[in-house]
Structure 1
Amino acid sequence: MKDGFIKIACVTPPLRVADCTYNAQQIIVHAKEAASAGAKLIVFPELCITGYTCGDLFQQSTLIQGAQDALLTILQETKDLPAIVIVGLPYVHGNGLYNCAAVCYEGGILGMVPKQNIPNYSEFYEVRHFAAGPDASWDCPQSYLRIRDTRGFGTVKFGAKQLFTCTELPDFVFGVEICEDVWVSDTPSVYMAKAGATIIVNLSCSDEIIGKEDYRRTILKAKSGSLLCAYAYADAGFGESTQDMVFAGHNLILENGSLLAESQLFTQGILYADVDVQRLAGERRRSNTFQTQMEENIVATAFSMPLTETKLTRWIDPSPFVPKVDQELSQRCEIILMLQATGLATRLKHIGCKTAVVGLSGGLDSTLALIVMVHAFRICGLDSSGMIAVTMPCFGTTDRTYQNACRLAKAYGATLREITIQDSVRQHFADIGHDETVHDVTYENSQARERTQVLMDLANQTGGIVIGTGDLSELALGWATYNGDHMSMYAVNASIPKTLVRYLVAYEASQTEDTLSAVLRDVLDTPVSPELLPPEQDGTIAQKTEDIVGPYALHDFFLYYVLRLGFAPHKIYRLAQIAFKGTYDDTTILKWLKKFYWRFFSQQFKRSCLPDGPKVGSVTLSPRGDWRMPSDACVTLWQKDLESLEA
């Protein structure tokens, strides 16, 4: 439960129709197993104590009493479990029989939730037996019932649209609906989510027919996405009567539109998933359209559950910006390139510009910028000769990157300009009195700013604009020379993280002819470097970016969880330990996480004056759009959190 993680278990136990004693024992066994695995919320199917397919036996007082006795047995046997257990049973209240979910915890019942939407079609003719459950209410006497638990008789809340809230973890709020409730247009979950429920559980007995599996999955994905919630669906399976239907035990656990776990059809047992209620609450705060709306008929019951460490089994993606499925990756790359190219094409058309200038180093970022230019020129119907690719060799340029830059320009039909800047930089050193043998930040940045000046002046000379090459990861770390490579007239890579840049270039390589593809693949194999320091004696790159600022794989991971989700440093560290297990040790992760926060806060002034560039993903640092941060913000609170960690 710490850091907002709740392990949920959806259970399809063995079942015998109308055998309440047997069913109760199966529920108890599975509840204990799930609790021992760390589950804090354990959900069983609809009417699991009796079986859903009892038919007119539901009118028999013997079955109704047997279900109540079985519920008491379940309460007694699970009272010491550190988990909430939700079971289904028929229950009489007033003059009605209701299809209910009993929310059990510590030997008592937190609430009894009746099904609201009672199906009346042929295969599910529940209206013959059950009444539609009313909304719960604070002041209506019918919203309370007397029920026996392990402490004797007590009063509990009765009614639909109840909320159950954890005192120790305020983001842990759940509501309950039953089967048909999720299939109707006005679902109870809508009201519960608006009132604060981050988790919706559904006790279901859904028959299986051709195509229903996909339909069920689609509905639940959409529901969890639109409500920004987690959704746990526990389905009945083997043991229900197959007189006219078959039940497959299709359990699903989802979070904000994503499927976390799913059982195979026609299986029994327990399905687990770790949901992050802290993340869901954060998503709701970010979404200004999702506001808490307390309804008059929403009743909330508080419960106390100590915060314990959840052993995470959920998969943590080490590359959150990169799709994992090959087909999806190709489609995503194509869309991203079109977004970038369309942004640039729109700008070129708007200002009536037929030329564009890019500094082509032979590295990843400038290669991607050139690729985007190629696509944009095609969109505009412009001659490729209007793409002016400028290579500007200086003290750190290696033959490998120089040759690749020349080959790329030629292959794409760009106009190649070679402008050597050693003499102009040396003149600048003389002007400001800098010793060329001192390879400090002045030595490096003088080259970067000279290159930018050349590009800007060439753009003026040719009636074009300068295309920026810097990426999102460099902006986050401030790994850019202020008013050097930091500046351009349109920054096409501004919202592309370094890990994604690599995949975009690889995608382009897979789509081109062999000669160009070979050059692109060599660019991919070249170490990332600004090439501002002299090369090694053998001519290879001496200055490697990731040796200085850290691995981009880690920084992009940090970037995603800092900007997209706003997680605290200790939670990001915990997730990184899982995601990069076997790749980076804890000491390395913590070292670069501290470096990330220091650079991120200290370098905001560079991001406060960025050129225009297209947004292509959910994370961007444009000061006019998704990220507005004062340049003088203090990192003290984040450092304090980091200092509490031990690698």
Structure 2
Amino acid sequence: MKHGFVKVAAITPNIKVADCEYNVNEIIHRIEEARQKGAMVILCPELCVTGYTCQDLFLQNTLLKGALDGLTKLIEYSKDIDALIAVGLPFLKDGNLFNVAAVLYQGELLGMVPKRNIPNYSEFYEARHFRRGNDIVEYVTINHKKVPFGSNLIFCHREIPNLKVGIEICEDLWVPQPPSGGLCEAGATIILNLSASNETTGKDIYRKTLVSNQSARLVCGYLYASAGEGESTTDLVFSGHNMIAENGTVIAESERFVNGVIVSEVDLEKLISERRRISTYLVEEKKEYTYLEYGSTSDENNTTYDFELELTRFIDKAPFVPSNKEEREKRCNEIIHIQALGLKKRIQHIGAKSVVLGISGGLDSTLAILVAKRAFDMLGLDPKGIIAVTMPCFGTTDRTYQNAILLVKELSATLREIRINEAVELHFRDIGHNINTHDLTFENSQARERTQVLMDIASQVNGFVVGTGDMSELALGFATYNGDHMSMYGVNASVPKTLVRYLVAYFAAEAKSDTLKKVLEDVLDTPVSPELLPPKDGEIAQKTEDVVGPYELHDFFLYYVLRFGFSPSKIYRLAVYAFEGDYSKEIIYRWLMIFYRRYFQQQYKRSCLPDGPKVGSVAVSPRGDLRMPSDASVSLWMKDLESISR
């Protein structure tokens, strides 16, 4: 599958207890529905050929023969189905009855996986009928053909190398050491769980947590299909609670008490990338596991798997920002606390009583001073020790100037105003630069002058400079080298711009002062700008996003570059899908090209970053997350981008 996506399905058919013919027809009906949606892996519930709740009917030869006849029909039906199908049924082997998953592909029974852990408590009395499955792979004869039988089977697609499927059955997940752990260590990327989990109050929450957590622990795709309506209600009710999870996130979930089909796409490339990143995740082929290949490589099949699936799963436009309001507020408080604790430790270590930062009335410096105030509160220090310096120059507007002054006053910090016009003009004369030439020199001279002022004031007050620049600016290199790029401790260095906005909004919502609340809200409404070019009619003339592009796009690109190492073409595809209706394909492509060029060209700025706390899953510190050569070539990435048909 192109970009590593594979479409998968979990189904719950309507059934009648002990009516194998009816059940098989309903299973086929649901498989057809899943196939119409493009599923290549299809999971059915536990014992669905007979029904899970047959009780002592499992001891009747008639039912067991009916189950085998049903399996034969499913095998025959699957001849033209290019999908791996796992279906549950009872199976008699050597006089012992097993609860098994039969795995089918294109008219072939690839293997049978018995349930390892047989419950015998409360409402589940499986031990009365079934024996525990063995890890050791043996062979059974079905329809005159030998078939592997054992728990340690992994089904590997020949033409989709990362599609490796392992199976466990219901209770296997609920034990201290589920079989899926060993299966994934042996290479499985997707785990199928055929289940029959009854419904009681609150059990669905626990079940969902269990599935989600297991997919996170194993960095895998996890499909869970459970029995539903049609099972006996003598003592229990089953809801057909089906789930598809991927590395800790449930990406598809059925409505309970409604039998049906759920389909989504598991990103195998993401899973492999994440496993590669985690040095303690060791995957290797193991002799105790049997690897069964499927999927023809014959020209007669004439099947190619190098195509783009239609995506139906949710792709978050703001991957750094939780979409749930409650979770977002919790995350904001946590991040601010991490930032403040980092700064607190640095203040304690140096023995400083003061910190110095530039305050512009923009988002980044606003967040930095709010973090500094929290750090000072933690230390019990007088906020007067926060020296906030506003340095108006050619591009400063009255709006940002007034917001900066009000903000410092509301936080009871110390405000210093130093106009740098004359110093910069003198510098222009020294280097022979025309003040009317508004080029890079015009802008950088102001940024470097501001940094020099801050550094020297820090020496005066026996303090240190707190950096305000954020991770998005650093990724794009949108910072003046040895200007705003430099400080003694950068509290925002691993906070992307989209998240900076939410953090400031969080402070605004928590503000006890109406004035502070209004100031923060106005800062949020102010266009992002370094204010280095003269205003037009008193308004900001230089808008950052007009120059480098929308930060919401760049943060999206940055997340997938740093977190998973995706190719440009895959990131483009995800962005087009996520931002449909917001940005055209052409605009996304243009800014993605610019992102990669700047990302590679500007690494030298990130190679000498000041210290700063990591707050999320990724950062650009050269001492941790991003150890990248400053002179690496971008040509391969550009070639991949140029291959995109738009």
- Which residue in the other structure is 2:49 paired with? 49
1:92 partner amino acid: L
Residues 490-534 of structure 1 deviation map (CA, whole Å, 9 limit, x = unaligned): 100000000000001111111111111111111111111111111
User: Contact 1:364–1:528 (CA<8 Å) still a contact in 2?
Assistant: yes
User: Contact 1:4–1:276 (CA<8 Å) still a contact in 2?
Assistant: yes
- Bigger mean CA deviation after superposition, 229-238 or 66-75: 66-75
Structure 1 distance, partners of 2:395, 2:236, is 74
Mapping of residues 360-399 of structure 1, within 5 Å: 360-399=359-398
- Which residue in the other structure is 2:473 paired with? 474
Residue 80 of structure 2 aligns to a residue in which SS?
A: coil
Mapping of residues 447-526 of structure 1, within 5 Å: 447-512=446-511, 513-526=513-526
- Which residue in the other structure is 1:401 paired with? 400
- Bigger mean CA deviation after superposition, 365-374 or 205-214: 205-214
1:314 partner amino acid: R
Mapping of residues 597-608 of structure 1, within 5 Å: 597-608=596-607
- Which residue in the other structure is 1:100 paired with? 100
- Which residue in the other structure is 1:157 paired with? 148
User: Contact 1:114–1:159 (CA<8 Å) still a contact in 2?
Assistant: yes
- Which residue in the other structure is 2:300 paired with? none
| C-alpha deviation, 1:122, in angstroms | 4.5
Mapping of residues 558-569 of structure 1, within 5 Å: 558-569=557-568
Equivalent residue in structure 2 for 1:187, among 149, 169, 178: 178
Which ranges of structure 1 fall in alignment gaps of 5 or more residues? 138-142
| C-alpha deviation, 1:379, in angstroms | 0.9
Instruction: State yes or no: 1:228 paired with 2:219.
Output: yes
State the TM-score, normalized to the length of structure 2: 0.97
- Which residue in the other structure is 2:79 paired with? 79
Mapping of residues 497-646 of structure 1, within 5 Å: 497-512=496-511, 513-536=513-536, 538-646=537-645
- Which residue in the other structure is 1:206 paired with? 197
| C-alpha deviation, 1:186, in angstroms | 2.0
| C-alpha deviation, 1:22, in angstroms | 0.6
Equivalent residue in structure 2 for 1:248, among 236, 239, 249: 239
| C-alpha deviation, 1:337, in angstroms | 0.8
Structure 2 distance, partners of 1:495, 1:24, is 54
Task: Kindly report structure 1 stretches of 4+ aligned residues shifted beyond 3 Å.
Answer: none
User: Contact 1:31–1:78 (CA<8 Å) still a contact in 2?
Assistant: no
Structure 1 distance, partners of 2:330, 2:526, is 26
Instruction: State yes or no: 1:120 paired with 2:115.
Output: no
User: Contact 2:367–2:500 (CA<8 Å) still a contact in 1?
Assistant: yes
| C-alpha deviation, 1:555, in angstroms | 0.1
Residue 387 of structure 2 aligns to a residue in which SS?
A: strand
1:499 partner amino acid: T
Instruction: State yes or no: 1:91 paired with 2:91.
Output: yes
State the TM-score, normalized to the length of structure 1: 0.97
1:291 partner amino acid: L
User: Contact 1:28–1:78 (CA<8 Å) still a contact in 2?
Assistant: no
- Which residue in the other structure is 1:260 paired with? 251
| C-alpha deviation, 1:82, in angstroms | 2.0
User: Contact 1:323–1:329 (CA<8 Å) still a contact in 2?
Assistant: yes
- Which residue in the other structure is 2:164 paired with? 173
| C-alpha deviation, 1:632, in angstroms | 1.1
User: Contact 1:161–1:189 (CA<8 Å) still a contact in 2?
Assistant: no
User: Contact 1:136–1:162 (CA<8 Å) still a contact in 2?
Assistant: no
- Which residue in the other structure is 2:301 paired with? none
Structure 2 distance, partners of 1:293, 1:459, is 54
2:140 partner amino acid: L
Alpha-carbon RMSD: 1.2
1:601 partner amino acid: F
Instruction: State yes or no: 1:12 paired with 2:12.
Output: yes
2:348 partner amino acid: K
- Which residue in the other structure is 2:139 paired with? 144
Structure 1 distance, partners of 2:99, 2:408, is 71
| C-alpha deviation, 1:98, in angstroms | 1.4
1:31 partner amino acid: I
| C-alpha deviation, 1:155, in angstroms | 2.1
2:141 partner amino acid: R
Residue 160 of structure 2 aligns to a residue in which SS?
A: coil
Residue 390 of structure 1 aligns to a residue in which SS?
A: strand
User: Contact 2:446–2:532 (CA<8 Å) still a contact in 1?
Assistant: yes
| C-alpha deviation, 1:26, in angstroms | 0.5
Structure 2 distance, partners of 1:581, 1:359, is 38
User: Contact 2:548–2:594 (CA<8 Å) still a contact in 1?
Assistant: yes
1:181 partner amino acid: D
- Which residue in the other structure is 1:140 paired with? none
1:630 partner amino acid: P
Which ranges of structure 2 fall in alignment gaps of 5 or more residues? 297-303
2:388 partner amino acid: A
Structure 2 distance, partners of 1:134, 1:331, is 46
